[in-house]
C-alpha cells in the first residue's frame, strides 16, 4: 500500500511535518532535565563593539564566591551552585519553580578575548563581564592607494 509523502495536515507546507517532529522531540528531551532546569540556564545577554564584548546574566541568591567564570579561546563558561532548599518530612511543596543544585553554561564568543583584560563585576545578583579583544585580533583598516 502506498503511503502519502506528506501529512494531509501540512496544508501544502513540506516542512510542517519536520517542525511537528522537532517539537515532539524537544518535548521528549525536556523530561530528561531536572525539574525547573533548562539547557540554557542562566539566560545571558551579549553585546559587542569593535574592542570588547559584554555579557550580563542574573544570578539571584548567589554571591561572587558561588560563581566560577572561565574563558578559553572563544568559549566563556559560567558555573555555580544554588543551595538545596529545606527538606524534611514535615515540608509539603505546593510549587517548586526555582532552580537548585549545580549549573554550567558555556557560550561561544564571536571572537577571541584577552584573558588578562577581563573585568567581572557582581552587583545585586547581576553578573557583568566585559572582555577585551586582543589587539592582534581586531580588524585593521587597510589604506587603499591611488596611482
Q: Which sequence spans correspond to the domains of the chain?
A: 42-86+98-137
Q: How far is Cα 57 from Cα 46, in angstroms, rounded to an integer?
A: 9
pTM above 0.85, yes or no: no
Q: What CATH number does the domain located at 42-86+98-137 have?
A: 2.60.40.790
Tens-place pLDDT, residues 1-40: 544 554 555 566 767 777 788 777 766 655 444 544 445 7
CB 13 within 8 A of CB 5: no
Tens-place pLDDT, residues 32-89: 445 444 457 889 999 988 789 999 999 999 999 999 999 998 899 999 998 887 777 8
Span 102-130, mean pLDDT? Answer: 93
Q: How far is Cα 133 from Cα 1, in angstroms, rounded to an integer?
A: 62
In 10 A of CB 111, how many CB atoms?
16
Amino acid at each position: 500500500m502506498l503511503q502519502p509523502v506528506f501529512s494531509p495536515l501540512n496544508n501544502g507546507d513540506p516542512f510542517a511535518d519536520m517542525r511537528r517532529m522537532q517539537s515532539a522531540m524537544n518535548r521528549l528531551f525536556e523530561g530528561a532535565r531536572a525539574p525547573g532546569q533548562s539547557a540554557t540556564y542562566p539566560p545571558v545577554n551579549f553585546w559587542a563593539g569593535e574592542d570588547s564584548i559584554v555579557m550580563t546574566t542574573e544570578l539571584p541568591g548567589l554571591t561572587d564566591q558561588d560563581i566560577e567564570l572561565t574563558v578559553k579561546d572563544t568559549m566563556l563558561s559560567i558555573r555555580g551552585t544554588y543551595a538545596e532548599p529545606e527538606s524534611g518530612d514535615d515540608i509539603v511543596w505546593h510549587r517548586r519553580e526555582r532552580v537548585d543544585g549545580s549549573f554550567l553554561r558555556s557560550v561561544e564568543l564571536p571572537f577571541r578575548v584577552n584573558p588578562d583584560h577581563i573585568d567581572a563585576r557582581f552587583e545585586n545578583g547581576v553578573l557583568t563581564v566585559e572582555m577585551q579583544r586582543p589587539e592582534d585580533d581586531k580588524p585593521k583598516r587597510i589604506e587603499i592607494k591611488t596611482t
